[in-house]
Chains A and B, each alone.
Chain A
Amino acid sequence: MIFIAVSAQAQIDTTLLRRTPADTSKRKMNMDAIYSRPTLQAGKFPVSLGGYVEANYQHLGTDGISEGHQFQFRRLTLFVSSTISSRIKFLSEIEFEPADKEISIEFAAVDVEFHPLFNLRGGMIVNPIGAFNQNHDGPKWEFTDRPISTEKMLPATWSNAGFGVYGKYYQNKWLFGYELYLTSGFDNTIIENEFNRTYLPAAKANTERFEESNNGEPLITGKVAVKNTGIGELGLSYMGGIYNKYQDDGLRLDDKRRVDVFAVDMNTSIKRTGTTFIGEYAWIFVNVPQTYSQQFGNKQHGGFLDIVQPILKNNLLGWRNAVLNLACRLEYVDYNVGRFKETGGNIGDEIWSVMPAVSFRPNPQTVFRLNYRIQKQRDIFANPAINTAGFSFGISTYF
């Protein structure tokens, strides 16, 4: 929708390169995140370009062993979008992560709009599980790291080949949105990996999923969300399917085993103080063979809550409308929920983190952030926690 508006404006614009600011209209929900980004457009050229970059400095230590000074160039992401004809648009997001020597297409889909309540999307899509997976752009967050639960429990950024439908309905202050996709999905690596735990992100390494599903079974992802423009947004999402290769060449190899993920996400702000709360929590259920090892749990859950408090909104350091925020992120993940068969005792494998932060936004598209992480992690036997703490400083901006 915004792209139609953008090209309509382009007709009368005389400057060659024009900046379309991020659409911050109240009609946007998390599901619109991929489209509501600031982009650059050249005259009448129907293609918009955009992107963001994220770089950090980090100094973390674990139980007396410091990593020292770490300079990290996390990623450069490019968006290319175009309105191909009325009601048909295309958007792609290409990510360069030099540390992984990886150039990956995160998103590349064609949308066909029939009705606000009914649109088709096909291509490489980002599965809408929780809100972070779709709404992960670095400059949107006050923290240099992605939440642990979204990156180390859920597989952000998790995208797959597939197609589906989505739509939105609004009336007065209320918005309702839904999304439903069939895509390729997970594989055995979620319980057979070198992380020594059930680990959905392990499936990201299998790029064959873009060409051929490992077991011919679809992964179903669905999400519903409601938003009240005065209160906030609440999303409920589900993603699930059979993950394992239970047959090959028509021969049976194993039982069919499912992975099911449920997530709740929300964001809200207190008008009077300007405090924003963004949170997400997810539950994962994996059918792990009884005769395999409890090292690989059949249940996980975890989430995060970001609290962001603007403390100065002013002309700061020569930037008009600059904002200085105080923020804090609370995180928890239990990678292995359950009890040992041998003892009936609790299985550990848990992580907690508290991360106070100061962030400075000279403009809404750019953020400088200073974080201090305090993290505790317990092994599978719930032995005394390993402590990690330290500073990170980073910049992230759309361009």
Chain B
Amino acid sequence: MKIVVCVKHVPDAAADRTFTEDGSTDRASVDSLLSELDEYAIEQALRIAEADGADTEISYLTVGPDDARDALRKALAMGGDSAIHVSDEGIEGSDAFGTSLVLARAIERHGFDLVLCGMASTDGAMGVVPAMLAERLGVPAVTHVEGLTVDDGTVSGRREGDGATVSVQGTLPAVVSVTDRSGDARYPSFKGIMAAKRKPVETLDLADLGVDPAQVGRSGARSAVDTTARRPPRTKGEIVVDDGAGGAGLAAFLTARKFI
């Protein structure tokens, strides 16, 4: 089985993230790392490969600038076989439509039985790229699941949807996204980190994929940011140390604010 795991290199959520003047995410000012939510997808791929034996091949795919390679190295250190890095100046400023188009073309070129994604990125956090990929590839989208099983040409999982928990099943080939409840991700071992250095990473650009530059990047974006503004910092209110009357004091505060 051929598994492609889509991974994203994102600004560290613990750092102070900002925008550049044109309203896109400022990637230069903070450290970036492999999106934590993608580690769950990598973990599932590795578990499937472990259960399946030698027949499974895992490739990682990322779209992004040069340093996005770091995300691929981290993924390869956790396990897997090879990686694809799509990098092209024309991609900068892509929205989910542009990104999903590039990903879909790269996945088609490589071939796949299963595409695995995290439930959302930790920066843009729209959580729509897996659904868009399935739409573009014309295959089932088994999204937002935990309890993932791949068996006999089908993929199944449990999904907490908008109003219900549902058990879902699709046939392979398929796109799957897993939540942070799908199973803890492993840490790369020292051996894994060393081995990752020798694993092949292929670099592709838009021309290699036959993607029209007008469809991606800023020119392909289908929405525009009008304004970005830092929320005014919350003014820190009164912090009292409980001297035996903290609960009553809290009740007085809530009464003053008309919650009681």
Partners in one complex: no
Chain B residues in the interface with A (C-beta under 8 A): none
